[in-house]
Each structure stands twice: as structure tokens, then as C-alpha cells.
Homo-oligomer: A and B are copies of this chain.
Amino acid sequence: MTDDQEPIRDIAHLGHFEIYTPKPAESLSFFKEILGMEETYRQEQSVYLRAWGDYDRCTLKLTEAKRAGLGHVGWRTISPQALYRRVQALHASGCGIGWIEGDTGHGRAYQFEDPDGHYMEVYYESERYLAPPQLRAKLINQPQKFTARGAAVKRIDHINLMCTNVTPNREFIQDKLGFHLRERLQPEEGGVEEGAWLSVTPLVHDIAYTRDFTGNRGRLHHISYWVDNQEDVLRAADIMSDNDVFIEAGPAKHNITQAFYLYAYEPGGDRFELFSSGYLIWAPDWQPVTWRKTDRGRGVYWGGTLPESFKTYGTPVVDVSALSKEDLFVFDTA
């Protein structure tokens, strides 16, 4: 921190995430045909993709692997100096892994692990997407033509990571990377923290940590892309239903984040969220909103409940048959 009265402001935004899939061809088809994303590169076991409104060359790296799950999360810093500051802090904390030379779409990156064991990296240099002639938009302020294919997701939105214990992960990302806590699920005052929603941008969250009731480490709850309005989410639900994509929950509205959401599983097993609506946070002194049992904190604003799978399913997939109702009781989140 350059000034101990002022917060860290070094992370610019969520740059990309990498997910693993045991069914690479089917997963790729889902992201390209059902969600309408563009493939921008292939290398070894990975395909690089972006949404039509993403300014980056890659926001999703899809990598073939034996099991579904998170590869890593990439955070872009606001400047080279900011990158330097974050690397120093991460290194000092003992969670650092080291530098890599970069990847398709970005330059040198410093890798590290969060307390729950999710891989992350910070980097500054990024490759701005330049559309080939057939994909060039008529609007010069739009990175790519609107291809109108499938759900036509517009841009990367956020990531939700499961963890055995929310608190240390939340504190880690606040302290080391400067995230602001926006909302929190803690059913009982002084009780266990079930979920935390944080951001460095005015988005209500760039990342969420939610409790893994199965007791496993390092799992992925979901990745999320944005569409500009609720009609587009409904339209996507029609497209998914007509193409035999299982919709786990939604379209509906969360209490937490006010998201208008739809959750589905991509063919490899990773959960995917289509997100719209919500709200933006402008206050530099935002006071985190804490949801208690009594605040209708069941995750669904208009009524109903989220399915039980929402509490236990994540990737890699684990056996949950031994879990009792009591284990799952308290958890209901977004």
C-alpha cells in the first residue's frame, strides 16, 4: 500500500479463467454453439475463447484433462508497478509459486495459490483482441461483430470458488489483492461465514467464495458470463432446453447480488452461470451487506429454493451420497 490510510487499488479486473474438461470436443461445441463464443487460438490440449464483447484475446481457456475443475484464475493489474507491488506482497505471504513467461493473450504472470488451493495468477501485459476482417464490427468501439449465435454471451463476468472455510480465503484476497467485500452470507451473527462476494470493480462481485459442504478443497463452483438483459437469459434458457442442456437452476433472481441467473453444466461437468441485471457499486466507502437467516437469504428473491445440488456439486465432482441433511442445512447461497 502506498499510503496506509488508502486501500490497495492494484487489480484492474478479472482477466480470464481456465477450466478443465474430460470431454473437450463437446465442451468446445457448448461454448461456441450454445453460448456463442469465439475460438481465438489452439495450443496443445487447450482452446482459447472469448465473448464478442471481451476486449481481451482470451477470457476462457478450455483445457482437456481427466477431470473437470478449475485450471486457474487470471487477474490483470492496473499497471506494471501495480503488478510489482502485488508480486511482492504475494511472495512475502508465502503463497507464491513463481513467474511464468505468459500464455496466449497475456505476458509474464506470477502464479500463486489461495488458502483453499485454487491456482491464480497476476499479470499486466495483455493482448488486445483484433478481429479478423470477417468478424470486424461496424462500430469502431466494439471489439467484434455481433454474431448473434446461440446465447451470444457478451463478456466475462465473475468466478465462484468453493472452499472448506470461507473466511481465510476472503481475508487473503482482501489483504493481498485489495478486493472489497460487497456482500456476505453469515446465517447467525458470529457464526460460520457461508459465502463472500468481493470485487475490485463496481461489479457487485468479480469473485465469490462459497462454502464447500463436502469438505473438499480447491473446487470450482461456477464461471460466469454476462448478457445485457433478462430477455437474453430467457432466450438462452430456450436454446439450452431445446438442445438438451440440463439447467440446474433459474432463470430467476438471487437476493444476494440481485443477479438474474441461469445455471447449467457444460458437457465436461463444470457449472456455468449466465448472469444479467444485478447492480453496480459506486461508493468508495461501501459497507458490506451481511445476510442473516432472517433476511430472506435463501438465494432466490421471488420465491422457491435452490436445488440441493447447488450446495454440494462442484468440480472436480465428488461423491456426496454420505452427506446428511444436517450437513447441508444451513447453506443456501448465490
Chain A contacts to B: CB under 8 angstroms: 2-3, 5-6, 9, 12-13, 53, 55, 76-82, 126, 128, 137-142, 145-146, 148-151, 155, 183, 201-202, 204, 228-232, 234-235, 237-244, 246-253, 255-258, 260, 262, 277, 279-280, 282-285, 287, 289, 291, 295-296, 301-304, 307
Interface pair B260/A3, CB less than 8 Å apart: no
| CA distance in complex: A242, B155 (Å) | 18
Q: State which of B6, B295, B296, B307 has its C-beta within 8 Å of the C-beta of A82.
A: B6
14 new A-B contacts, CB < 8 A, other than A5-B80, A140-B291, are A138-B241, A141-B289, A142-B279, A148-B149, A228-B277, A229-B229, A229-B230, A229-B231, A231-B232, A234-B253, A237-B301, A238-B253, A241-B303, A262-B302
Interface pair B244/A234, CB less than 8 Å apart: no
Interface pair A12/B282, CB less than 8 Å apart: yes
Q: State which of B79, B241, B302 has its C-beta within 8 Å of the C-beta of A301.
A: B241
**What residue in chain B is nearest A53 (Cβ atoms)?**
B279
| CA distance in complex: A36, B332 (Å) | 34
Interface pair B229/A283, CB less than 8 Å apart: no
* Minimum C-beta distance from A86 to chain B (A): 13
**A228 contacts across to B, CB distance below 8 A:** 229, 277
**A183 contacts across to B, CB distance below 8 A:** 141
* Minimum C-beta distance from A71 to chain B (A): 21
Interface pair A303/B247, CB less than 8 Å apart: yes
* Minimum C-beta distance from A198 to chain B (A): 14
| CA distance in complex: A204, B141 (Å) | 10
Interface pair A13/B230, CB less than 8 Å apart: no
Interface pair B260/A234, CB less than 8 Å apart: yes
Interface pair B138/A296, CB less than 8 Å apart: yes
- The listed residue with most B CB atoms (<10 A of its CB), out of A53, A139, A257, is A139
Q: State which of B6, B13, B241, B304 has its C-beta within 8 Å of the C-beta of A79.
A: B6
